[in-house]
Amino acid sequence: MKLTEDQQNKRREFLTKVCPTVAFALFGVSFLEACSSDSPSDEGATGVIDSSSGYGGNDDQSSDDNSSNDTPAYTVDGDTITADLENPFFDNLKNVGGWMNFTEEGVLLLRTSATQILAFDNCCPHAGTSSSWSFSASSSRFTCGNHGNSYGTSQGGTANCSSGQTSGNLARYTTTINDNQLTITK
């Protein structure tokens, strides 16, 4: 049975809102990546860290809402993501060599120096999955855990999302860091 576009959107919205909460309640933060969404985020979305869970996901709360103790981890405006690197959600990026799968926004992040973080599309070129990545600093390659294919971080030779390619480089996005604010432009 094929779902209509409206049914797919409702399912995606349900999974985005419910899956991380259930996974955290049952297993803890380490399993949250398995419940990622492959869909693009809504324009103007705000990533909020819930102080009780440590999870930084999309929330309908605006970034200037001071009615709770939640701290905005990132904001999205069209194709631009602005991340607060001082927010605990991005702790994996504090040291050179640190990386994270920012599944909420479909991006792999890799700190290459004190002043540079690279961003890549986290959609596997082979099969389009996005939730199961590892990184090898010695080879500077990301490996998709679904089929074991690895992809480089150099520019050029880009293997595009869901193209069936089993090698090449991941698509790279433009990044800048200014006053602990990381800006990613897709």
Task: Give the per-residue pLDDT at 3.
Answer: 61
Say how far residue 133 (Cα) sits from the centre of its chain: 11
Q: How far apart are CA 24 and CA 81, in angstroms?
A: 25
Rounded Cα gap, residues 72 and 42, in angstroms: 16
- The rounded distance, in Å, linking the Cα atoms of 137 and 74 is 26
Q: What is the secondary structure of 93-133 as a DSSP string? A: GSSTT-EEEEGGGTEEEEEEETTEEEEEE-S-TTT---S-E
The pLDDT of residue 72 is: 86
What's the confidence (pLDDT) of residue 4? 72
pLDDT at position 84 is 96
Please determine, looking at this structure, whether the domain spanning 5-185 carries the CATH number 3.40.50.1580. no
- Sketch the domain layout of the chain as residue ranges: 5-185
Residue 2 is predicted with a pLDDT of 65
Query: Can you give the pLDDT at residue 1?
Result: 62
**Rounded to two decimals, what is the model's pTM?**
0.65
For the chain, 186 residues long, the average pLDDT of each consecutive 10-residue run is 66 61 44 39 43 32 40 92 96 96 97 97 94 94 94 94 95 96 98
- Give me the pLDDT at residue 32, please: 38
Instruction: Give the integer Cα–Cα distance in Å for 184 and 81.
Output: 5
